[in-house]
Copies of this chain bind each other. A is one copy, B any other.
Amino acid sequence: MRKFIGIDLGGTNVRVAVVTELGEITEEIKRPSQASEGPEVVLNNIVEMIYTLSSLSEVEGIGIGIPGPVDTEKGSVTLSTNLNGFTGYPVVDYLKEYFKMPIYMDNDANVAGLAEALVGAGKGRKVVYYVTHSTGIGGALVVDGKVVSGRKGYAGEIGNIVIDRDRVRRSDVNTLNAGAVENEASGSAMVRKAQETIDRQITSAFEIFKLYEKNDPKAVKLVDEMSYDIGQLMATIAHVVDPHVFVIGGGVTSSRDLYWDKMKAAYQDLVHPHMRDTEFVLASLDEPGVIGAAMLCYSQEA
């Protein structure tokens, strides 16, 4: 059984795991990522972690998932917002000084999408579109088992897609477009809107769904609007890539029973009739980050 190292580097923690070609984790280490300390501290920590793996001698390659758009040819992050000093830093080249094996890097949503496409809910499907619906909204396109990252890694930056150009720009929150779907239908956007219209004490989308279940009219309106906005996003994506399946993950999906039917209805209303039966399935992996990072090695050589 072939094995690869998967690294899931986030703003808070970093996970390093040995993963088989079937997506099984055989060994895993987790530490704080020390994101504020700069790339050398962060990467030396990862190098140390890799050296402590008992099966290091058996692995054939290393894959890294990292926040922010990734220039996969250069092996660096185009624009890093939560890892200090990583913008443009040659991460892959740095690690190659220590490990004489193929090393690949891609965006965290892209590697999660790759994991779902290869060994998760999208397994066996030719064109998989993965969407993470969480505090933010991100996506990943996987075709024939390979991630399409694009020119500078901005493929899948779907949170900035305008679903309604007449909405107010939220310059107080971020630099996304007026009417960008992330500022209208993400978990954070729902909380922001609920604080404005329902109760300033609300801090999670889960609380909004609780009120929705009690038929609170403002919560119903909010969930309805979110469902439509996400459905329109999916329709937009479908007209670009017509995926065999949409795989959806992220925290908001824990309340999927309360909004997926509405989301699908909006989707079906906004696509050509033959596209209406596109499947929407829930992401199925507990740790798509390390698995997908490891799978980068496998998918790149195919």
Contacts and interface: CB of A to CB of B under 8 A. Distances in A.
B241 A241 contact: yes
A152 B242 contact: yes
A274 B240 contact: no
A244 B141 CA distance: 15
A153 interface: yes
Interface stretch (A20-28, A46-54, A215-223, A231-239): A231-239
B154 A238 contact: yes
A242 B155 contact: yes
A155 B155 CA distance: 16
B275 A242 contact: no
A232 B235 CA distance: 16
Interface in A88-112: none
Contacts of A271: 154, 160
A243 B79 contact: no
Interface of A: 69, 78-79, 126-127, 139, 141, 143, 148-158, 160-166, 177, 232, 235-244, 270-275, 278
22 contacts: A69-B272, A69-B274, A127-B150, A139-B240, A148-B241, A149-B242, A150-B238, A150-B241, A151-B244, A151-B278, A154-B238, A154-B242, A155-B241, A156-B239, A156-B242, A161-B235, A161-B236, A161-B239, A162-B235, A165-B232, A166-B166, A236-B240
